[in-house]
Amino acid sequence: MKRLRVFVVSDSVGETGDQVAKAVISQFRPSLENTVIRRFPHIQSEELIRKIVCLAAKQNAFIVYTLVRQEMQSLLHELCEKEMVYAVDILGPALKTMATFMEEFPLEAPGIVHQLDDDYFKKIEAIEFAVKYDDGRDPRGLLQADIVLVGVSRTSKTPLSQYLAHKRYKVANVPLVPEVEPPEELLKIDPKKCFGLIISPDKLNSIRKERLMSLGLNDDAIYAQHNRILDEIQHFEKIVAKIGCKVIDVTNKAVEETANVIIEHISNCK
């Protein structure tokens, strides 16, 4: 079997070219047997392109390239023709066609897609953070969080945390219960990043009864009783007063509405 050498040349990390090369090669060699794929990332100079083409000619390598700058595309193409090196341009034809369609010139800025990837990974990190520090599981997260939510049970702390996480905010939330002292970290955080979620007793009573019924339990449990709810709200008001944080009434608010209030408040505090 003929030994196959493939050079992946890119002005970014070369991941796109690498994946395309493997997809094509697998149609001839499903296990990529006797194949060497060498990646040349962050190629920004003409000198490097000349050296790579020269090396490809010596080693009889096939070049796959993803270069966004037209001058670099043209140079590599010309050198490959001169040295009789087989090469395929992955991005060039698509960029030209898109430019014609949109009647605009491309930015020709390497690595933009990976900036978007960074944004994606920040979102994933924030989602994982929200899960890890949900419902007061680990008070150490309070000092690391961008946003801290406090409130009695069933005030939408968890769904709100997840919604804000999709906006790339690291959110921790803490349930406030009269029988349990709040964690020390809660009183050490910046009040500007903490938000108390309050809800009307009647609305909370209705939500908790529905919750109990969905679990197959009686809706007259202490958890849903009016006096218990009033005690919890009184305890909540005592704690948020100590923190000195903003309180948001979520009685008739959708999660998105509450999130917008929080984001606007944080932006104004910067």
Please report, in range form, the residues annotated as the binding site for ADP. 151-158
* Other beta carbons within 10 Å of 16: 17
Extract the tokens encoding 64. 């796959």
Contact 137, 178 (CB under 8 A): no
CA distance 179 to 167: 34
Helix, strand or coil for residue 10?
A: strand
- How many Cα atoms are found within 13 Å in the side-chain-facing hemisphere of 50? 3
User: Measuring CA to CA, how many Å separate 45 from each of 10, 48, 78, 192?
Assistant: 11, 6, 15, 48
- The DSSP output letter for 220 is T
Burial (CB count within 10 angstroms: exposed 0-12, middle 13-18, buried 19+), residue 138: middle
CA distance 140 to 269: 24
Q: CA gyration radius for the chain? A: 29
Annotated binding-site residues read 151-158
Q: Tokens 């959110």 map to which residue?
A: 171
